Amino acid sequence: MRDSNLLEMVQAHIAKCGCDLGLDDNVLEILCSSARELAVSLPVRMDNGKLKVFQGFRVQYSDALGPTKGGVRFHPDQNLESVRALAALMAWKCALHDLPLGGAKGGVICNPKELSKGELERLSRAYIRGIRDIIGPHKDIPAPDVSTNSQVMTWMMDEYSKIMGENVFGSVTGKPLFLGGSAGREEATALGGWFVVREAAKEIGLELNEAKIAVQGYGNVGYHSAKLAPGFGCKIIAVSDSKGGIISEVGLDPEAVRKHKSKNGSVVGFPGTKTISNEDLLELDVDILIPAALEGAITDNNAGRIKAKVVAEFANGPTTPEADDIFGKEGRHVLPDILCNAGGVIVSYFEMVQNFDMWQWDESDVRKLLDKRMVKAYGTVMSASREYKVTMRQAAYIVAFKRLVETMKARGWV
């Protein structure tokens, strides 16, 4: 999906939900605008001694509910429009799950695969220096996203701490445990998604035991989605990455596939499997399809051929509005991104709470609290879907917008 299309998709959801709720133009004007946007140039000394200037962004879409929260992507296709759209999705996600947080997103235009560890560290620190004035534990808290991880977050936290002249572990989330991270953070997005899938299966009468699953994308979220599947009784039969996919009707060992990808650069070629394309994977006859890659994987060109009983959006924006219309007419049970993939930001919120208290929770406690929040959110969205007679996506936006608008009105913003 082109970045402009992702932003158009977000704006289309705003307009549709605004119509459903009868929101006036003043409210829609605020919902369609980001609160703050910052573009920065980041000079970095490369290993060859030359200086290279990278472009970075931070968008704080809405802070009505509290300090903004959102990941930082290092990706060659990033631009301000894509970051703005992703920040908006984060705002709706936080509102839907009743978190005291607003939505933000960050990005740097780069290809991390082409950077040495030293170059990546210098870039991470330069990014924090560039956005230092608008972030902090009570302002905006970055987190990992595509091509960033706990090591990148550690460099960012350390740089912010140097600027502030004191340790500020709560300046970012997604840190290692020994630096104030939260247990369960690495798998949180996927785990939260699986809790929603479990509830959806109960709703539609789908037996999860031996259910066939296909996962598109095998980065952090995709890998953990596959890894957690057996714990819910499911069988992974197909996975893919940017270079292609693999299928085995007898099932895949997610950890063995991960090791193969780490060694060979792709899941393709894993022993005992048949090679398929990403497009083929989406159209497999499976019980549950998990898009866990980048935006725009499901369009009006392929939505009509998708056979999965449940489409669980572990990725942000994997389904275009046109494809969503097709799913709506078919009555397919789609678990929208702002409902399904919020586990990451929820556990990031837990990490913030632990940092404020200077305490660490047991992983079992994190899982229980995450489970409780995801179940509650699913129930709320399902109820709204029935009340307004709309799809699960429209219902999720209705719940999120109602909370956000109520807060803005109470604060006198509209």
Tens of pLDDT along 208-217? 998 999 999 9
Is residue 12's pLDDT more than 70?
A: yes
> Among residues 341, 289, 407, 297, which one has the least CA distance to residue 27?
407
Active-site choice (69, 105, 227, 235):
105
Tens of pLDDT along 136-180? 999 999 999 989 999 999 999 999 999 999 999 999 999 999 999
* Residue 109: other Cβ atoms inside 10 A: 16
Q: Are 153 and 135 in contact (CB under 8 A)?
A: no
Q: Look up residue 62 and give its two tokens.
A: 């809405």
3-13+36-168 is classed CATH 3.40.50.10860: yes
**pTM > 0.85: yes or no:** yes
Name which of 11-15, 230-234, 404-408 the model is least confident about: 11-15
* Residue in this structure with the two tokens 């894993």, named with its chain if needed: 270
pLDDT band at 132 (very low <50, low <70, confident <90, very high): very high
pLDDT band at 204 (very low <50, low <70, confident <90, very high): very high
Tell me the average pLDDT across 228-247: 96
Cα–Cα distances (Å) from 109 to 54, 106, 123, 183, 341, in that order, read 6, 10, 11, 30, 24
Q: Look up residue 271 and give its two tokens.
A: 């022993």
Is residue 5's pLDDT more than 80?
A: no
188-340 is classed CATH 3.40.50.720: yes
What are the residue ranges spanned by the domains of the chain? 3-13+36-168, 188-340
Is residue 3's pLDDT more than 70?
A: no
Average pLDDT, the chain: 95
Look up residue 23 and give its amino acid: L
| Same CATH fold assignment for domains 3-13+36-168 and 188-340 | yes
> Does 259 qualify as catalytic in the annotation?
no
Write down the pLDDT at residue 2. Answer: 41
Tens of pLDDT along 52-64? 999 999 999 999 9
Tell me the average pLDDT across 245-263: 97
Is residue 365's pLDDT more than 50?
A: yes
Cβ neighbours for 330, distance < 8 A, ≥ 6 positions apart: none
Look up residue 145 and give its amino acid: D
Tens of pLDDT along 33-56? 999 999 999 999 999 999 999 999
Q: Are 245 and 275 in contact (CB under 8 A)?
A: yes
> Among residues 237, 199, 126, which one has the least CA distance to residue 382?
199
